[in-house]
Homo-oligomer: A and B are copies of this chain.
């Protein structure tokens, strides 16, 4: 066996798990999200910068404020998902570095005093964490429906008016409903994605 991860876990996270487009009305609790977060927060980021922020959209009012910025094809499923999370990068993540990376007390100022450096590193590392989060949702036995079809500027103004966070993606979360899945599209073969030098 080439992989150490057991077959059930491979199925749960990768092989059987699928992006869901419909959901049942079974609620997703704060405890479930906290369990997901407490698992995926452990996966690595550069200098432990941990720039991902998760905004749980629970109120009807907040959901409508979000839905109006989504592409039309993403609106109905987001209205009916039991929970929707806005994943964003905290552009002021460096303020937490003294506590997150105590081995290098000057880190915050050495590398991250300028916004463009924070935006570049923060976006990369928060996107990594978004990947961990999607798998974490699956680890909770839930389906994720990640979306990038939205007006990012609109979402940023609506939810992050102070300009200190930028949306990366929006993720519907819940148990899959009727006809939740599109057919799985083909993936690139290893020979097309992996090169040796």
Contact = CB atoms under 8 A, between A and B. Distances in A.
Nearest to A196: B56
A19 interface: yes
Contacts of A33: 190, 194
A53 to B, nearest CB: 6
A38 to B, nearest CB: 6
Contacts of A48: 185, 187
A5 interface: yes
B187 A34 contact: no
Nearest to A10: B39
A55 to B, nearest CB: 5
A58 B196 contact: yes
Given A3-B139, A32-B2, A186-B100, A195 B128 contact: no
Given A56-B195, A188-B41, A197-B56, A103 B140 contact: no
Contacts of A55: 194-197
Contacts of A14: 39-40, 42-43
Contacts of A102: 185
| Oligomeric state, in copies | 2
A4 B193 contact: no
Contact of A148 (B6, B124, B134, B169): B124
Interface in A24-63: 30-44, 46, 48, 50, 52-59, 62
Interface string A59-74: 1001000000000000
Contacts of A197: 55-59, 62, 159
For the complex of A and B, the 7 pairs showing the least CB-CB separation, nearest first, are A131-B131, A4-B141, A127-B127, A9-B9, A5-B139, A2-B35, A128-B131
